Amino acid sequence: MLEVEGLSVSYGAIRALEDVALRAEKGMITAVLGANGAGKTTLLRTITGLVKPTSGTVTLDGEKLTGMAVEDIVRHGVAHVPEGRGVIQEITVDENLRLGALWCMGRSERRVAMEEIYELFPLLSERRHKHASTLSGGERQMLAIGRALVSRPRVMLLDEPSLGLAPIVTAQLMSMLRDRTHGSDITVVLVEQNARSALSVAQRAVVLNLGKVVVADDAAAVAADSDLRHHYLGF
């Protein structure tokens, strides 16, 4: 279980997060929702150590991650798919995938894990020797997610995976995510502005507004609360 407690982050005089708490369970998708500037991306960046919090802690199965270097947090099984630009465009699809597994696997184990990802995303397999810059938006997102999955992470943090994707591609992505997560021991934190599609696959949801948690509840309850939806989620 990934636990965030009392997390506050400031960029200079600007408070990005204030006393944020979050519990994300194994085998579940926890959606983090909210408008632009609500602090969703900052929350993920703080969990992976890219941003240092002014106070608060992040723990994974009881072990404190706060204060560790990004590279070490990755080594604890936290895979972060950053917003939009996660794929390294100047290298090939295969090299991107290899990079995802490089820190945790030897050559033969890596080959097996990479083939699994190619089976999951056959489109990537066809383009494995092409530069990632030649991929479409949807393919890039597949590659970014595949590159996170290849290391068999304990926690996967996804930042706006639906950004810029056609609705049908988003739907495919979400159902793939649901199938991979439910009943597995992976913990998924899904940051989305597209609240409707995130709530359709998540079990839990946290709504952020101006850096504070407005509500943390079952996804179904959040989806059912029309006041909340109108106020913070725009649908």
Partner 1 sequence: MSLFVNVTLNGVANGMVFAAMALALVFIFRATSIVNFAQGAMAMFTTFIAFSLLDRGLGYWEAFAAALAIGLVLGAVVERILIRPLRGKPEINPVIVTIGLLIVLEGMAGSIWGNSARGFPPAFSQTGLKFGHTKVAFSHFDVFILGSVLAIMVATMALFRWTNLGLRMRASAFAPEVARLLGVRVGRILTLGWALAAVAGSLAGLLVAPTSSFSPYYMDLNLVFGFTAAVIGGLESPAGALVGGLITGLCVSYVGGYLGSSLQPLGALALLMVALMARPQGIFARPEARRV
88 scored as a contact of partner 1 (CB under 8 A): yes
Q: 99, 120, 123, 171: which one contacts partner 1 (CB under 8 A)?
A: 99
Q: 22, 32, 98, 213: which one contacts partner 1 (CB under 8 A)?
A: 98
Measured distance CA(162)–CA(198) in Å, rounded? 9
- Where do runs of H (alpha helix) occur along the chain? 40-47, 70-75, 93-102, 107-120, 122-126, 137-149, 167-181, 195-201, 219-224, 226-228
- SS3 state at 59: strand
- SS3 state at 50: coil
Phi-psi region of 61 (alpha: psi -120 to 50; beta: other; left: phi over 0): left
* Residue (135 or 205) nearer to partner 1, CB: 135
Strand partners, 17: 9
82 scored as a contact of partner 1 (CB under 8 A): yes
Site string for partner 1, 180-219 (x = CB under 8 A): ----------------------------------------
Q: Report in angstroms how near the CB of residue 91 gets to partner 1 at its nearest.
A: 6
Q: Report in angstroms how near the CB of residue 125 gets to partner 1 at its nearest.
A: 19
Interface positions with partner 1 (CB under 8 A): 48, 50, 70-71, 74-75, 79-80, 82, 84-91, 95, 98-100, 102-104, 133, 137, 140, 147, 151, 164
